[in-house]
Amino acid sequence: MHFDILTLFPEMFAGPLTASILGKAQKSGLVSVDVWNIRDHALDKHKIVDDTPYGGGAGMVLKVDVLVRAIEAVKGDSETPVIYLSPQGQVFNQDMAAQLAKLPRLILLSGHYEEIDERVRQHWVDFELSIGDYVLTGGELPAMVVVDAVTRLLPGVLGDESSFQQDSFQNGLLDHPHYTRPATFRGMNVPEVLLSGHHDNIARYRLKEALRRTIMRRPDLLEKKDLSMEERQLLDELAAEFSAEGRVNTNESD
């Protein structure tokens, strides 16, 4: 898969894109990333990319002509979708990451300052993605978030394919708790079942703990999930445990 990132600050990408799994995925040719400087498409001698907003008001607006030249230079005649990172976009989630991971190529447009010219959004952007309901300085961090979340879903990127299958959101639940050696630390023991070597019991324990965590932290996820028979049984067990504990609400901190 190939990502083209359009930005005014290409230098921001060096660290995150070269380290760890993203760096390895690029070295092994599973993914490639080109970071393009929008400023290279400003034609005047001062390389101006922004201007004051028509109608007045605070902040600077990225210019339509510069952005369109940048997008067209990268997109060429291809059908590659252009995604604008924007707090006004659809909120990015694991399902969207999985959909994007099926595409051969994506163009990610990072905005900056007050906004980009609206005409770019209307005519050159295919869809907008937000990484959450807060406003960042620029679309660079959101672009990195999208590249990271999509890349780790590509076949061959994670050493063990099953590791993302159990991740939070992958099957509509949060991930179960994890432990590693030592089995006892300052009197705190790892749950016995994990040391038993009994794979069915371990799988059942993990599913139950994933359900417990999801009810406590993200009950909204369970409302959307098609539950299997086993999941229903485990939820019944959890309900019985909660009622024995006298727990009436689902907040773990209570």
Hey, what are 102's tokens? 């099926």
Hey, what are 191's tokens? 């749950």
Minimum distance from residue 112 beta carbon to ligand SAM (Å): 5
Which one, 132 or 219, has the nearer CB to ligand SAM? 132
* Contact pattern for ligand SAM over residues 112 through 151, marking x by CB under 6 A: x-xxx-------------xxx-xxxxxx--x---------
Minimum distance from residue 138 beta carbon to ligand SAM (Å): 5
Q: Active-site residue 114, yes or no?
A: yes
Position of minimal CB gap to ligand SAM: 111
Minimum distance from residue 116 beta carbon to ligand SAM (Å): 6
Q: How many residues make contact with ligand SAM (CB under 6 A)?
A: 20
Q: Does 172 bind ligand SAM (CB under 6 A)?
A: no
Q: Which of 152, 206, 212, 231 is catalytic?
A: 152
* Contact pattern for ligand SAM over residues 79 through 108, marking x by CB under 6 A: ------xxxx--------------------
Q: Active-site residue 152, yes or no?
A: yes
Tell me the residue type at 66: V
CA distance to 27, 62, 136, per residue, from 7 (Å)? 23, 11, 14
Strand-pairing partners, residue 180, are none
Beta strands (DSSP E) in the chain are 2-7, 32-37, 50-51, 61-62, 82-91, 105-110, 115-116, 127-130, 184-185, 188-189
Distance CA 11, CA 85 (A): 18
Strand-pairing partners, residue 32, are 2
Residue corresponding to tokens 């291809």 = 78
Minimum distance from residue 146 beta carbon to ligand SAM (Å): 9
Q: Does 7 bind ligand SAM (CB under 6 A)?
A: no
Backbone angles phi, psi at 241, to 5 degrees: -65, -45
Hey, what are 128's tokens? 């907008």
Cis peptide bond upstream of 182, omega within 30 = yes
Q: Which of 65, 114, 128, 148 is catalytic?
A: 114
Distance CA 153, CA 161 (A): 9
Q: Active-site residue 213, yes or no?
A: no
Q: Does 182 bind ligand SAM (CB under 6 A)?
A: no
Which one, 135 or 229, has the nearer CB to ligand SAM? 135
The catalytic residues are: 87, 114, 152, 167
